[in-house]
Amino acid sequence: MVHQECINCKTRYDIDEIIYFCKKCGDILEIKFDFKELAQTLKTSDWKTKPLSVWRYRDFMPIHETAHVVTLNEGGTGLHRSQHLGQEVGIKEVYVKNEGENPTGSFKDRGMTVGVTKAVELGARHVICASTGNTSASLAAYAARAGIKCTVLIPSGKIAYGKLAQAMIHGAKVLQVNGNFDQSLEFVLKLAEKHKSIYLLNSINPFRIEGQKSLGFEICEQLNYEAPDRIIIPVGNAGNISAVWKGLTEFHRLGFIKKLPKMTGIQAAGSAPIAQAIKTNSDKIVPVEHPETVATAIRIGAPVSWKKAINAIRESHGTAETVTDEEILDAQKMLARIEGIFVEPASASSIAGLKKLVKNGVIAKDERVVCITTGHGLKDPDTAIKQCEKPVEVEADMLSIEQALGLKQQRVIIAR
Ligand code: F0G
């Protein structure tokens, strides 16, 4: 039987109980399966005939048989062999798993299709989240699809324009909080606690993590059931690294993969409590009071899923690293120019982390590495434009255009 369980004291809760924190110890929850039952279900299931997507893994999702799935066709994103990137950083085999290819342009859709399906199953009519941008964009879209009300709290002035546009056009009630993400999250936690009719869909919600674990499944399947040596992933609130690890360990336990990759989390230098805890070998994080980075998506000082993330990194013998804003922006531009993959700054932190860790000798040259890029570059056009040369203004005539291109003027012969 599938149930919810506290990650600390292991108290069990019913799968349909609306609960975000353990009533006994206050820690966060995760979904637990009966693996014998799941293995049995998979034996007779046709899951391997379904296209690569979140719902290929329907049997792994804690949703009742009768549920009406709220989907926009999420998952099934490309795993791009990136030879130029490999040459640039000095390793043989590197892939980019580009989550910007999801319906609203980020990995959040994997979690939201399951989270909003669960919300509808539970009879919720109003969903809420705090967000640095992508979660709000995704929740707004899936709530619209489900025909339910959506409220999002975002830090004022610190969210990329594309993401704000998405939340607004999908009809969410957008509250810009004069504060940062961590403060906004505290408010939505209190709101969901106080007003039981509002269903919370931040990554503290374990059903979102279930959807996001499909990212781990897909990477293994795209590599022919062989896990890579290492997965590099940007870390903010720390839900995604926990989710990918959960997926990998489930595939491992079911015997689909033989080994597990080293989970490698990358944080922006100005908001890196998890990387700090890993580097200092600490069992706790010290929250960053005023997180700052150009990668606004991961501008988070008190990640709610830090325990799960630290566990994933330690259990997998991985590591965590920080990258500066300059390294992030350089990596963003490099990836766009040598691989044709345009990602937002937070996503480029995995590429910047790869470069730094190879240079420092942490990543061996013969490792098979997958970098996850979490969101599309068009989410944040302002940051992209700021780093590039301005377009050249020309008059609307051939001469000016040829001159601007440094081409020799040629006589134009008009045939009659
Ligand atoms: N990359 C992008 C593009 C993100 O939007 C986020 C998180 C992350 C990485 C980090 O993932 O939080 O699971 O560790 N964005 C959240 C949001 C916080 O509100 O959109 P994480």
Tell me: the pLDDT tens digits for 120-136? 999 999 999 999 999 99
Q: How far, in Å, from the CA of 163 to the mean position of ligand 1?
A: 12
Q: Mean pLDDT throughout 66-90?
A: 97
Q: What average pLDDT does this structure show over 261-271?
A: 98
Residue 1, pLDDT score: 84
In whole angstroms, give the CA distance from residue 16 to residue 13.
8
- Answer whether 287's CB lies under 8 Å from 182's CB: yes
Q: Is 75 left (phi over 0), alpha (psi -120 to 50) or beta?
A: left
pLDDT band at 83 (very low <50, low <70, confident <90, very high): very high
Confidence of residue 170 (pLDDT cuts 50, 70, 90): very high
pLDDT for 57: 98
Q: Give me ligand 1 centre to Cα 12, in Å.
A: 28
255-261 average pLDDT score? 97
Interatomic CA distance for residues 217 and 293, integer angstroms = 31
Average pLDDT over residues 324-336: 98
Nearest CA to ligand 1 atom 4: 297
Over 70: is that where the pLDDT of 411 sits? no
CA of 309 to the centre of ligand 1 (A): 13
Distance CA 375, CA 141 (A): 16
Closest ligand 1 atom, residue 243 Cα: 13
Q: What is the mean pLDDT of residues 363-368?
A: 98
Can you give the pLDDT at residue 412? 62
> φ, ψ for residue 123 (rounded to 5)?
85, 15
Q: What confidence tier does 340 reach under pLDDT thresholds 50, 70, 90?
A: very high
Ligand 1 is surrounded, with C-beta below 6 A, by: 106, 131-135, 203, 234-240, 297-298, 344, 346-347, 374-375
Instruction: Band the pLDDT of 379: cuts 50, 70, 90.
Output: very high
Element holding 358 (H helix, E strand): helix 345-359
Q: Picking from 105-114, 132-141, 399-408, which range would have the lowest pLDDT averaged per residue?
A: 399-408
Taking CA 246 as the corner, what is the angle to CA 244 and CA 250, rounded to the nearest 5 degrees?
120
How many whole angstroms from 369 Cα to the centroid of ligand 1?
Answer: 21
Using 50, 70 and 90 to split pLDDT, how confident is the model at 335? very high
Mean pLDDT throughout 195-205? 96
% of residues, the chain, pLDDT over 90: 96
Residue-averaged pLDDT of the chain: 97
pLDDT at residue 301, rounded to an integer: 97
Structure confidence at residue 337 (pLDDT): 98
Q: How confident is the model at residue 408 (pLDDT cuts 50, 70, 90)?
A: confident
Determine the pLDDT at residue 139. Answer: 98
Atom of ligand 1 nearest to the CA of 239: 13
pLDDT at 415 exceeding the cut of 80: no
Q: Indicate if the pLDDT at residue 414 is higher than 80.
A: no
